[in-house]
Structure 1
Amino acid sequence: MTTIPVYVFAKWQVKQGSLEKVLSLLEEAARRSREEKGNLVYKLHQSNSDPNTILLYEGYADEAAAREHRDSDYFQEIVISSIVPLLETREVFVATSILDQ
């Protein structure tokens, strides 16, 4: 059985004055995400032109691993309940690779 990796790209626009709190919460979310069995990669980036713009790049072994991540208690508590209210906008794109190098 072949598994197809799933990648998540997210762009968060943090509300003015909330950046330090979001970054602090993200430290724990990143650590816990990287410990997940199905996690392939979890990287965080900050825009050079706007520090309140955070970009996330995540990879999971398959859709089931990505779903397990989203459904985890810590994700619901840290990201959904604590971080999302501190964001102006949140865009999330789920994708599969079409050209591997």
Structure 2
Amino acid sequence: MSQKPVYVYAQWHVKDGHVDTVLELLEHVAGKTLQEEGNLFYKVHQNQSDKNNLILFEGYSDADAVETHRHSQHYKSFVSEQIIPLLEKREVILMDQLM
């Protein structure tokens, strides 16, 4: 796999009435993810005009680190099993930095 950094942009639209739960779960995910060896950063943002719209911006040292994250126990337990069912829509884009 590539040895260059990989950036993840994820846009989540949370179902009405569940944003507080999702944000609470994300605190656990962020804490564990920041401890991963290949993680560079993990930032969660909330749309000012639509509180149900969350943007996650993550950085990883390389593609292997992204895969390690996606297969981690905390990702499976919190994101796959608890958060994704509370989302109306989810878009994830893997990016390379150009400049």
Alignment TM class, shorter chain as reference:
over 0.9
Distance 2:3 2:76 in 1: 25
Aligned residue number for residue 47 of structure 1: 47
Aligned residue number for residue 18 of structure 2: 18
Distance 1:43 1:80 in 2: 18
Distance 1:79 1:38 in 2: 19
Cα offset for 1:42? 0.5
Give the gaps of 5 or more residues in structure 1. none
The one-letter amino acid paired with 1:10 is: A
Q: Does 1:58 align with 2:58?
A: yes
Distance 1:34 1:61 in 2: 12
Q: Per the alignment, in what secondary structure is the counterpart of residue 57 of structure 1?
A: strand
Cα offset for 1:59? 0.3
Distance 2:77 2:13 in 1: 19
Q: 1:26-59, CA deviations, whole angstroms, 9 ceiling, x for partnerless residues?
A: 0000000011010001000000010000000000
Tell me the TM-score normalized by structure 2: 0.96
Q: Per the alignment, in what secondary structure is the counterpart of residue 49 of structure 2?
A: coil
Cα offset for 1:98? 1.2
The one-letter amino acid paired with 2:31 is: R
Q: 1:1-50, CA deviations, whole angstroms, 9 ceiling, x for partnerless residues?
A: x8200000000000001011101100000000011010001000000010
Q: Per the alignment, in what secondary structure is the counterpart of residue 41 of structure 1?
A: strand
- What percent identity do the matched residue pairs reach? 45
